Amino acid sequence: MGSREAALAAAAAHLDSGAFEAELARRVAIRSASQEADAGPALQAYLTEELVPTLAALGFTHTIHANPVPGGGPFLIATRVEDPTRPTVLMYGHGDVIRGQDASWTRGAGPWTLARDGDRLYGRGTADNKGQHSVNLAALAQVLAARGGRLGFNLTWLFETSEETGSPGLATFCTAQREALRADVLIASDGPRLTAPMPTVFLGSRGVVNFDLKLTLRDGAHHSGNWGGLLRNPGTVLANAIASLVDGQGRIRIAALRPPPIPANVRAALAGLDVGGGPDDPVVDTDWGEPGLTPAERVFGWNTLEVLAFATGNPAHPVNAIPPSAQATLHLRFVVGTDVSRMAEVVDAHLRAQGLPPFEITVGEVMAATRLDPDDPWVHFTLEAIARTTGSKPVLLPNLGGSLPNDVFAHILGLPTVWIPHSYPGCRQHAPDEHLLRPVAREALQIMAGLFWDLADFNPPARRPASSAAA
């Protein structure tokens, strides 16, 4: 059997030799854009023609499952069992990408051809998520080779192909497949590092829910010269309604949508972290949001209420008339401990208490907030393994500022959840010119190889019941 150092060297060589780029190029070329109506064959092909042969070569058996939700893409479960008495790791990735936006690319060779330009690898999915799960698959292969074909633990892969359309069917599927997906921990890769040079671990994600406020006061518009001052203006009323929910400095004013105090170990994990500062990052408004919090606490430890859209009258061609209606879409990102189960009732009661007329309130789908306790043994193991590889302590984010379907793994499967992202904030994810940084990918290959190597000697706490929920 080889050594940990040999496995790390092989992982780096896998990128340096061009082998990693060749693998990623094949995957990028499959147009698995789940947002397109005709994507079904490409989604299936990504699993059967690309992932299944890769996993079979690594000793996995597999099953492909139809999505229980009509129109949703298929799922792949691949398993590799060496010793039922050893820990089982569940890994996750998604093979779908957003639509290509082909005509808008200005760098590389468009969305469906991997193109290297300096340290950047351009192509749709390079950052989200094909590049990230390609890193994990390649690192796994190097460790298997270095260990003579044995890992020292068991591994299950779950791939979905509808993440970019909101993961329809994922919760139902995982509920039905709970036993097949039984594991001791989820270790997965998605989202960005805090900054490109800083290896990062996050333990969950903020939840998210959108809601619409609509106010219709009459059937048609009326001349503002004849009726101004006599007719209530729905745009003005809506603006004041929003201002009663979130003030002009971005501070949430409705108590029910504010989170509980930030736990001490979460605050400790966020201490000293800077957000932004990259060459493509916007400038942080230091006076925006909840006062008394650092920027890191505001985006990772607190709730934010944003106005996504606001319309009244005809913004493209305004006329001198009082409009009959107004509508806005708001967007709450929230951390663990925030109750959004009665969102419509809570917002309605608040607005009525301000003396405002009744609004039509429509609440969208809720993605729950999750956060593994930063003191969990799996967290300590992961941080130590990464530090052993890189020589420095990685950044620990108690949760991602954005949202992932982590509630499925934490709540339905009852798993500790540890995410190790291989992208960075300037990756152009979900936009033209999406790219993966080669130096980040090289380091990530070594990080994951070291983690897989160390798992062979790790004895975690007793396996959790599949029905339990993470904190």
Look at residues 348, 367, 386 and tell me which one is the last residue of a structural domain: 367
**What confidence score (pLDDT) does residue 464 get?**
52
Tell me the CATH number at 320: 3.30.70.360
pLDDT beneath 70, residues of the chain: 463-471
The angle that helices 130-146 and 438-455 make with each other, rounded to 10 degrees, is 50
Both 114 and 233 in one domain: the answer is: no
Residue 274 lies in a domain: no
129 inside domain: yes
pLDDT at 214: 98
Q: Quick check: 163 and 383 in contact, CB under 8 A?
A: no
The DSSP call for residue 359 is P
The full DSSP string for 116-171 is EETTEEESTTSSSSHHHHHHHHHHHHHHHHHTTT--SSEEEEEEES-GGGT-TTHH
CATH (domain of 30) = 3.40.630.10
Domain boundary among 343, 367, 391: 367
Residue 295, domain member (yes or no) = no
Specify if 69 maps to a domain: yes
Are 453 and 381 a contacting pair, CB within 8 Å?
no
Domain boundary among 320, 348, 367: 367
d(CA 419, CA 143): 20
Q: What is the pLDDT of residue 1?
A: 73
- Cis peptide before 303, with omega less than 30 degrees from 0? no
Nearest to 384 by CA among 397, 393, 396, 373: 393
Whether 281 maps to a domain, the answer reads: no
Structure tokens that stand for 250 in this block: 């971005």
Alpha helix positions (H), 315-357: 343-353
111 and 172, same domain (yes or no): yes
**44 and 135 co-located in one domain:** yes
328, 408: one domain: no
Same domain, 182 and 244: no
CB 47 within 8 A of CB 468: no
pLDDT at 463: 58
Q: Which of 248, 394, 236 is nearest to 328 (CA)?
A: 236
**Within-domain flag for 79:** yes
Residue 278 within any structural domain of the chain: no
Answer yes or no: are the C-beta atoms of 335 and 303 closer than 8 Å: yes
Q: Are residues 341 and 412 in the same domain?
A: no
Same domain, 237 and 376: no
CA distances (Å), origin 437, targets 44, 113, 410: 28, 16, 30
pLDDT confidence of residue 317: 94
One domain, residues 396 and 332: no
- The DSSP letter of residue 255 is G
Report the pLDDT value the prediction gives residue 469, as an integer from 0 to 100: 40
Enclosing domain of residue 10? 4-205+369-455
Residues 60 and 109 in one domain: yes
Report CA dihedral (20, 21, 27, 30) to the nearest 10 degrees: -170
3-state secondary structure of 382: helix
Burial 354-381 (b: 16+ CB within 10 A, else e): eebeebebebeebbbbbbbbbebebbeb
Residues 251, 228 share a domain: yes
Separation between Cα atoms, residue 463 and residue 456, nearest integer Å: 16
Alpha-carbon distance 114 to 127, whole Å? 12
Residues 267, 270, 274, CA angle at the centre, nearest 5°? 145
Name the amino acid, one letter, at 199: P
Distance CA 183, CA 463 (A): 7
Q: How many domains does the chain have?
A: 2
* 396 plus 385 within the same structural domain: yes
117 lies in the same domain as 184:
yes
Instruction: Output the CA–CA distances (angstroms, integers) from residue 285 to 96, 98, 242, 282, 398, in the order listed.
Output: 34, 30, 21, 9, 23
Q: What is the pLDDT of residue 465?
A: 52
3-state secondary structure of 301: coil
Pairing of strands 370-371, 222-223: unpaired
Residue type, 326: A
In a domain, 97, yes or no: yes
